[in-house]
Amino acid sequence: MIKKKIVILGSTGSIGKNLLKIIKKDKDNFDVFLLSANKNISLLIKQAKEFNVKNIIISNHKSYLIGKKKLKNKKINIYNSLSILNKVLNKNKVYYSMVALVGLDGLNPCLDLIKHSKNIAVANKESLICGWTLINKSLKKYKVNFIPVDSEHFSIHSLINNQSSTCIDKIFITASGGPFFKKRNMNLKNIKPSEALNHPNWKMGKKISIDSATMMNKVFEVIETKNIFGVKYDVIKILVHPKSYVHTILKFSNGLIKILIHEPNMKIPIFNSLYLNQNKKIISKNVNLNLLNDLEISKPNLKQFPLLKILNKLPEFNSLYETALITINDFFVHKFLEKKINYNELIYFIKKCSKLKHFVKLKRIKVSNLKQINDVKTLVQLKLNKLSI
């Protein structure tokens, strides 16, 4: 039996680790052909040895040199740049590729992987938000099956099940409300990064955890939903659901309403993206009737989550403003994590900079190539670095 080739970009992050745990139980069917990481070389090397991986990419140059020494006498090809993907993959056809990289640097590797993949799963928000026009064009050109991995988008994908988006009347995506949802009277100014990182339901990376606290992640997820499913913004609504049991509610034009529920565990959408339409079994918890009887679903309070107002004036097409928005958010989240600004300032600066004229004018420009996106990212970073913070 020929094994199915697998590529995982970002194998040392939570998505990558969960995917490898799933593959471990079905090693006879899969050949992990390539893994990548940024700095976590000890885990990457351990993964490479365990899954007999012949190709690894370590993006950080210092870590790459250390890794090269450690693997000197091993039969593992080690590279220092994701730009080598086309050369490494060459004529190999990959059954399933996972893009679990963080940041806009994941867009170019995503476009490269599409050329070599039968199925591509993407858990890189920045790529789907800023470069969807380019990704979608490439998916159609190479006839690749695209699978979103975020629990909300995978849920929508599952419920639509290849139907036309014209059959959808409303899409509701849920938000937990983050760690401060039920603490409305607390002084957010004195919030420590460690408190903002303490998500009640999900174990996630630092940046996405902060985005969940501010609910900026829902701004991004609405943009992703609009892009992936080809619907207008007024079709998409956000609901707060602290228990993270319901992931999406779809109201169809024929009057049917479908709800997708699963426990807050990313293994479930990852598992189903790998075994799409194969009826494979995963061990999961029983239906929680107590949760079903008390879902606590409500509309978000815009005074509590003012960043949601950013959604009010976004263009219906994939514009360069989304790249500016991603870059602004990244910049100030890192400032907060570095304790250079407080939590209230984090909200204030994102809101203020998202309204600056030289960024707002980008709403009129459609995305047409990768250079545009990279140029806007650089421009925004330069302007933000000039701020006295």
Distance CA 207, CA 190 (A): 19
To the nearest whole number, what is the mean pLDDT of the chain? Answer: 92
pLDDT of residue 126: 93
The pLDDT of 70-74, averaged and rounded, is 82
Q: Which CATH superfamily is domain 4-149 in?
A: NAD(P)-binding Rossmann-like Domain (3.40.50.720)
Q: Is the pLDDT of residue 389 over 70?
A: no
Helical residues (DSSP H) of 201-356, grouped into ranges: 206-214, 216-229, 267-274, 289-292, 321-337, 343-353
- The dihedrals phi and psi of 100, each to the nearest 5 degrees, come to -120, 35
Helical residues (DSSP H) of 162-287, grouped into ranges: 193-196, 206-214, 216-229, 267-274
The pLDDT of 68-79, averaged and rounded, is 87
Distance CA 206, CA 196 (A): 9
Name the percent of the chain lying above pLDDT 90: 79
Q: Give the pLDDT confidence of 296-333 residue by residue, as tens digits.
A: 999 999 998 999 999 998 999 999 999 999 999 999 99
Distance CA 61, CA 80 (A): 6
Distance CA 2, CA 339 (A): 52
Contact between 231 and 225 (Cβ < 8 Å): yes
Q: Give the pLDDT confidence of 268-300 residue by residue, as tens digits.
A: 999 999 999 888 999 889 999 999 999 999 999
Q: 3-state class of 180 per DSSP?
A: coil
pLDDT of residue 88: 93
Q: 3-state class of 36 per DSSP?
A: strand
Write down the pTM of the prediction.
0.93
Name the percent of the chain lying above pLDDT 70: 98
Contact between 144 and 119 (Cβ < 8 Å): yes
Q: Is the pLDDT of residue 184 over 80?
A: no
Q: How far is CA 343 from CA 197, 304, 327, in A?
A: 12, 13, 18
Q: How far is CA 96 from CA 16, 33, 115, 266, 329, in A?
A: 13, 10, 12, 18, 31
Burial status of residue 75 (CB atoms within 10 A of its CB: 0-12, 13-18, 19 or more):
exposed
Per-residue exposure over 287-316, b if at least 16 CB sit within 10 Å of its own CB, e if not? eeeeeeeebeeeebeeeebebbebeeebee
* Cβ-based neighbours of 361, under 8 Å, separated by 6 or more: none
Q: Give the pLDDT confidence of 86-144 residue by residue, as tens digits.
A: 999 988 899 999 999 988 989 999 999 999 999 999 999 999 999 999 999 999 999 99
Query: Side chain identity at 128, as an amino acid letter?
Result: L
Token reading at 358: 């030289």
Q: Give the pLDDT confidence of 202-251 residue by residue, as tens digits.
A: 667 788 889 989 999 999 999 999 999 999 999 999 999 999 999 999 99
Token reading at 294: 């008390």
Q: Give the pLDDT confidence of 335-388 residue by residue, as tens digits.
A: 999 999 999 999 999 999 999 999 999 999 999 999 999 999 999 999 999 886
> Nearest 5 degrees, angle CA 250-CA 231-CA 145?
85
Distance CA 70, CA 89 (A): 24
> Nearest 5 degrees, angle CA 319-CA 320-CA 323?
120
Question: Please, what's the largest Cα pairwise distance for the chain?
Answer: 63
Domain residue limits, the chain = 4-149, 150-309
Burial status of residue 6 (CB atoms within 10 A of its CB: 0-12, 13-18, 19 or more):
buried
Q: How far is CA 253 from CA 160, 165, 169, in A?
A: 12, 10, 5
